Amino acid sequence: MATVAIYGAGQLGATVAEILTNVPHHKVLGVFGRSAREEALTSGADVVIIATTTKFKDVAADIELAVQSGSHVLVSSEECAYPWAVDRTSADHLDALAKSKKVSIAGTGVNPGLIFDSLVLTLLGAAPRGCTVAVRRTVNISGFGATVLRRLGMGFTPEVFAERVRREEILGHAGFPQSMTVVADAMGLTIDAIDKELLPLITSYEIDLPDRFRIAAGESAGVNQTYTAKVGGKPWFTSHFYGHVDLAGINKSAMDEIELSLDGKVFQTITLKPGIGSQVGSKNMVANSIQRILAAPDGWVTVAHMEPAFPESL
Ligand SMILES: NC(=O)c1ccc[n+]([C@@H]2O[C@H](COP(=O)([O-])OP(=O)(O)OC[C@H]3O[C@@H](n4cnc5c(N)ncnc54)[C@H](OP(=O)(O)O)[C@@H]3O)[C@@H](O)[C@H]2O)c1
């Protein structure tokens, strides 16, 4: 029996609670919103799930409080898939604190957490040395709440989109440098640089996102991102993300594809059709990670150091 407290009363927190409430050997202590921060983080639950926001700096103090209170921590913040990529000092501090408290911290989700890192490492297991990696994800992002959609970059003219990207208010989908670094780190590679391109997909028709906002013709209804990590001065890992709020309306289908190439030729491709859904995949991945965070080594671990996630019963 594991006790679980969930901090973050948004879409992910609420749906993870629904799943875990139906797992007989777990007890959900509650889904706690902003006003019940202390209650959630100092609950002393076996596992605290933090499902609030994207940036490591915005959850670091929350993670610290939960670890100080003796809980393992699962956190959905994309930057937490590999926090050293944004703040080495804080990541090292929390890693050391978790080790001293004999608990584990891990970022979890689908992207990052599965498609661009865990699955890539699994597929590389059957590949020869020297492969380059390309991952392509085409995904319907219409299920996210307004805050996440705005941060992704939905509903802006091209000019405002570009300005907000410059001010780092629009992130597109976050977490690609983290996923690529998880894979590089596991393989003992050092990434020299990551080239980033984040472009808006402008809609030619109005799109209503019920209970959130309307996107007018001429505004962004999707993002097209390409991040290329270089090793030894050459492209090694390319992450493509094509997210749109109305994929069917633009005649595209959800898909995930991982392609390994050797000496410029395709060595292996796996394609998931349909691709893993953002909401359904993430809520399951977080809920299915309770057992593996309990079993993980002490300290801050990445998906390269954890068992796979899977449902704990039928
Ligand atoms: N790794 C992955 O694959 C993955 C998958 C899904 C989601 N995520 C990430 O997980 C986070 C939660 O997702 P979601 O879909 O549940 O978002 P959501 O529906 O917007 O819910 C977020 C909740 O957290 C609260 N919150 C936001 N910032 C906070 C902060 N700094 N401190 C305390 N509470 C805060 C929000 O409250 P207010 O409404 O009051 O702001 C809201 O209740 C997002 O950042 C999302 O990008 C990652």
DSSP-assigned letters across all residues of 18-80: HHHHTSTTEEEEEEE-GGGHHHHHTS--SEEEE-S-S-GGGTHHHHHHHHHTT-EEEE--GGG
In a domain, 311, yes or no: no
Provide the token pair at 112.
């990052």
- Considering the domain architecture, whether residues 78 and 180 belong to the same structural domain is answered as no
- Considering the domain architecture, whether residues 135 and 31 belong to the same structural domain is answered as no
| Distance (Å) from CA 224 to ligand 1 centroid | 22
- Considering the domain architecture, whether residues 198 and 186 belong to the same structural domain is answered as yes
- Considering the domain architecture, whether residues 62 and 101 belong to the same structural domain is answered as yes
pLDDT band at 314 (very low <50, low <70, confident <90, very high): confident
Q: What is the CATH number of the domain that holds 128?
A: 3.30.360
How many domains is the chain partitioned into structurally?
2
Q: What is the CATH number of the domain that holds 8?
A: 3.40.50.720
Residues with CB under 6 A from ligand 1: 8-13, 33-34, 51-54, 58, 76-78, 109-113, 144-145, 147-148, 282
pLDDT band at 226 (very low <50, low <70, confident <90, very high): very high
- Considering the domain architecture, whether residues 123 and 233 belong to the same structural domain is answered as yes
Give the pLDDT mean for 70-92: 98
Looking at ligand 1, which atom is closest to the CA of residue 110? 3
pLDDT score of 141 more than 90? yes
How do residues 154-171 score in pLDDT, each as one tens digit? 999 999 999 999 999 999
- The residues that bridge with 135 in the sheet, in sequence order, are 239, 258
- Considering the domain architecture, whether residues 41 and 157 belong to the same structural domain is answered as no
Q: What pLDDT shows up at residue 312?
A: 87
Q: By the 8 A CB rule, do 16 and 49 touch?
A: yes
- Considering the domain architecture, whether residues 126 and 238 belong to the same structural domain is answered as yes
Which of the listed residues 34, 179, 288, 303 should we mutate to test ligand 1's pocket, taking the one with most ligand atoms within 8 A of CB? 34
pLDDT band at 313 (very low <50, low <70, confident <90, very high): confident
In a domain, 310, yes or no: no
Give the pLDDT mean for 239-246: 98
The boundaries of the domain holding residue 164 are 118-276
- Considering the domain architecture, whether residues 98 and 191 belong to the same structural domain is answered as no
Residue type for 157, please?
T
Q: What pLDDT shows up at residue 245?
A: 98
Looking at per-residue pLDDT, the higher value among 204 and 312 belongs to: 204
- Considering the domain architecture, whether residues 156 and 220 belong to the same structural domain is answered as yes
pLDDT band at 1 (very low <50, low <70, confident <90, very high): confident
In total, the chain counts a number of residues equal to 314
| Distance (Å) from CA 294 to ligand 1 centroid | 23
Q: What pLDDT shows up at residue 278?
A: 94
Q: What pLDDT shows up at residue 153?
A: 98
In a domain, 21, yes or no: yes
In a domain, 141, yes or no: yes
In a domain, 313, yes or no: no
Residue type for 130, please?
G
Give the pLDDT mean for 198-216: 97
In a domain, 312, yes or no: no
How do residues 45-60 score in pLDDT, each as one tens digit? 999 999 999 999 999 9
pLDDT score of 146 more than 90? yes
| Distance (Å) from CA 85 to ligand 1 centroid | 21
Residue type for 22, please?
N
In a domain, 314, yes or no: no
Residue type for 51, please?
A
Q: What pLDDT shows up at residue 27?
A: 97
pLDDT score of 144 more than 90? yes
In a domain, 225, yes or no: yes
- Considering the domain architecture, whether residues 133 and 224 belong to the same structural domain is answered as yes
- Considering the domain architecture, whether residues 295 and 187 belong to the same structural domain is answered as no
Which of the listed residues 18, 54, 148, 239 should we mutate to test ligand 1's pocket, taking the one with most ligand atoms within 8 A of CB? 148
Query: How high does pLDDT run on average in the chain?
Result: 97
- Considering the domain architecture, whether residues 291 and 223 belong to the same structural domain is answered as no
| Distance (Å) from CA 8 to ligand 1 centroid | 6
